[in-house]
Amino acid sequence: MEFLFDGSLGAATLAALIVALAVALAFEFVNGFHDTANAVATVIYTNSLTPTQAVVWSGSWNFIGVLLSSGAVAFGIVALLPVELILHVGSDAGFAMIFALLLSAIIWNLGTWYFGLPASSSHTLIGSIVGVGLMNAHINRGGFGEGVNWGKLTETMVVLLTSPLIGFAAAALLLVLARKLIRDPALYRSPEGKAPPPLWIRGLLVLTCTGVSFAHGSNDGQKGMGLIMLVLIGLVPVAFALHLPPSTAGLRPVIEASRAIRPILARAPSPGMLDDAAADTHLSRYLTTGKPDRATVPALAFKNDSVGALLAGIKSVDDLSAAQRSRLRRDIYLIDGAIGRLIKTNLVNDAEAAALDNLRAEFEPLTNHIPLWVKVAVAVALGLGTMVGWKRIVVTIGEKIGKSHLTYAQGASAELVAMGTIGFADSIGVPVSTTHILASGIAGTMFANHSGLQRETLRNILLAWVLTVPACMLLGSVLFAGFLFLILNVFG
């Protein structure tokens, strides 16, 4: 069964679309109640808001964060996926990949939530992505590791692994600084019974809860968005493969930018005759390994010429068929990714890099588009998920990390650092773990406060942290192989 079609929705395609969207939104729902406990932990634990008030408030700001997100993280997640499957997202293997990623993430998130362990949805997705890539390479008899975008994966994992360390150190330093600058002893007390804190402290904690909730929605909400867009691109390419301007006049800057880089790419000697398939192979290998060969630049020149000629040769964007739109998106993806890597090498000078980067900027509105209804659907799922299931992880955050109960200052310090770190990551388009940043921030404040740390809880959190990626690699690979078998042998 091949899912790429000419634009009409048959019964099987419609059913696949509904199921895929439902699973993607279920992932965001689970992500909501799994991760948002981190945002509401301090306001609930300190009696600043009642649990009902806290989860509704946090859910609302998660909703707003998703709606106002840029989409950069969504397409950053997409860039981690196996290049071969991205290029053929509407194929059997493409849909097996999407279902495997979503279900493995849901299973792991539910499991760690059940045991009250703050685990990372970002680590979950990335582990699943690596597992799918490795299994796909194995099925296609490729070498070990082929198909995994190791370069992009390394960049993302560096951020994910260092952000908790930053959270620990920054929250500890912020608490020390607060002690020197803010002398009110009430800020450094633990909650007493069910009495709320003084009004100004209560306002501070509500503000930090708001910031973390907004940042969580803006960053984490985009993870599901990217996968939903892959579903739509694969199933409804006419509507979603590209966000084209209404007339060809809007494509003129793209055509001109494409022509401007031809002399730069023409300097490389051709290794021989190239066709679409060969250019695909060379550029896919370059995106996966990050290592150019003698055919890389000629293949890039071939693709650039093909895209420029296609866009210059149409009278209206409506002239493009579903197959042409899908092909055009794949070509743009390859050109954009290859140029991004090429700019980082010493093969081009500054002026050439600027011309190449200009083409990428012209491509971006065509491909990196998320419709408003997708944002609203994800925002609703994440917001509703926020309003349930918070209690297990709140107890871990509030009582089980340090040997003494969390103080108002510790909670505020950890959340301010989490808010700032997640917001910065969102601005540069990389996913981070709300869970790990906040939990490490709480641990940092306990260390700075000489409160002591509960080794058993930290051991369990660290174990979940260490096991998430390999466990989800296994889950993702097994589910991918299973779904691909079902699609080919049962539904095919």
Residue 402, beta-bridge partner list: 453
Q: And the tokens for 125?
A: 């997705």
The number of C-alpha atoms within 13 Å of 347 and in the hemisphere containing its C-beta is 20
pLDDT (0 to 100) of residue 45: 78
CA 442 – CA 336 distance, rounded (Å): 40
The verdict on pTM exceeding 0.85 is no
Indicate left, alpha or beta for 116 from its phi (over 0: left) and psi (-120 to 50: alpha). Answer: left
Query: Cα dihedral angle (350, 352, 354, 359), rounded to 10 degrees?
Result: -160
Q: Which residues pair with 453 in a beta bridge?
A: 402
Q: How many CB atoms lie within 10 A of CB 455?
A: 10
Report the pLDDT value the prediction gives residue 2, as an integer from 0 to 100: 38
Residue 151: predicted pLDDT: 67
Q: What's the pLDDT score for residue 4?
A: 39
Query: What confidence score (pLDDT) does residue 302 get?
Result: 93
Q: Which helix (H) or strand (E) holds 322?
A: helix 322-343
Q: Give the model's pLDDT for residue 173.
A: 94
d(CA 215, CA 217): 5
Domain ranges of the chain: 11-237+370-489, 244-367
Question: How many other C-beta atoms are found inside a 10 Å radius of the C-beta of residue 424?
Answer: 14
> Contact at 8 Å (CB) between 417 and 172?
no
Q: Is 276 left (phi over 0), alpha (psi -120 to 50) or beta?
A: alpha
What is the pLDDT, as a whole number, of residue 1? 37
* Tens place of pLDDT per residue across the chain (492 aa): 334 334 455 677 778 788 888 988 988 888 777 666 677 777 887 888 888 888 889 888 988 988 888 777 777 777 777 777 777 777 788 888 888 988 988 888 888 777 766 667 777 888 888 888 888 878 876 655 566 667 667 777 777 778 888 888 999 999 999 988 888 888 888 877 788 888 998 999 999 989 988 988 888 778 778 888 888 887 787 778 788 787 777 889 999 999 999 999 988 777 677 888 889 888 988 887 778 888 899 999 999 999 999 988 887 777 888 888 888 988 998 999 899 888 888 778 889 999 999 999 999 888 888 888 999 998 888 878 877 766 666 666 655 566 667 788 888 898 899 888 888 887 777 777 777 787 788 888 888 887 766 777 667 667 767 788 888 889 999 999 999 988 888 765
pLDDT for position 487: 82
Nearest to 102 by CA among 2, 240, 11, 225: 225
**Looking at residue 6, what is its pLDDT?**
41
Neighbouring C-alpha atoms within 13 Å toward the C-beta of 241: 29
Measured distance CA(185)–CA(181) in Å, rounded: 12
